[in-house]
């Protein structure tokens, strides 16, 4: 299944904020985590993550610093700032509403579909 571009774009910010809410991380690890969380279904073009991180940094939602990886490579680490935490909390509430609404409408459809199937059987 291929997930539409707009949907990927819309979920990118809340996903990244959520992953950073779990703790400090860096680009590659964030992408790994996205893969894990979506069972590999949510495919980003890897490079696009970085402009997104920079945008969040400019808006003050994340902070960054250079550290080095275990193998000694320089690595830019990102963490949530205070305003990032509040934005994350807000987005979480908004998405919960969306989630609930979709769940309800689909469980309704699922129910009627089952009924029709049952009736025709």
Nearer to other proteins, 14 or 63 (CB): 63
Nearer to other proteins, 14 or 27 (CB): 27
Identify any residues that bridge with 64 across adjacent strands, giving them in sequence order: 78
Nearer to other proteins, 26 or 95 (CB): 26
What phi, psi does 68 have (nearest 5°)?
-120, 145
Q: Is 26 exposed, middle or buried (0-12, 13-18, 19+ CB in 10 A)?
A: middle
Q: Where are the beta strands (DSSP E) in the chain?
A: 25-26, 62-68, 74-80
CB of 71 to other proteins, least distance (A): 8
> Please, which of residues 51-110 interact with other proteins by CB under 8 A?
51, 54-55, 57-60, 69, 73-76
Asked whether 81 and 61 are in contact (CB, 8 A), the reply is yes
Contact 84, 62 (CB under 8 A): yes
Closest contact distance (angstroms) between CB of 69 and other proteins is: 7
> Site map for other proteins, 20-59, x if CB under 8 A?
------xxx----------------xxxx-xx--xx-xxx
Q: How far apart are CA 22 and CA 79, in angstroms?
A: 9
Nearer to other proteins, 61 or 88 (CB): 61
Interface residues with other proteins (CB under 8 A)? 26-28, 45-48, 50-51, 54-55, 57-60, 69, 73-76
């Amino acid at each position: 299944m291929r997930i539409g571009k707009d949907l990927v774009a819309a979920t990118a910010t809340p996903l990244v904020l959520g992953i950073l809410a779990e703790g400090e991380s860096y680009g590659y690890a964030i992408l790994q985590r996205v893969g894990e969380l979506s069972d590999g279904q949510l495919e980003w073009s890897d490079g696009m993550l970085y402009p997104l991180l920079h945008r969040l940094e400019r808006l003050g939602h994340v902070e960054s610093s250079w550290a080095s990886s275990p193998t000694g490579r320089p690595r830019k680490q990102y963490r949530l700032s205070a305003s990032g935490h509040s934005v994350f909390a807000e987005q979480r509430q908004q998405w919960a509403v969306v989630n609930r609404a979709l769940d309800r409408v689909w469980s309704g459809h699922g129910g009627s579909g089952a009924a029709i199937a049952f009736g025709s059987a």
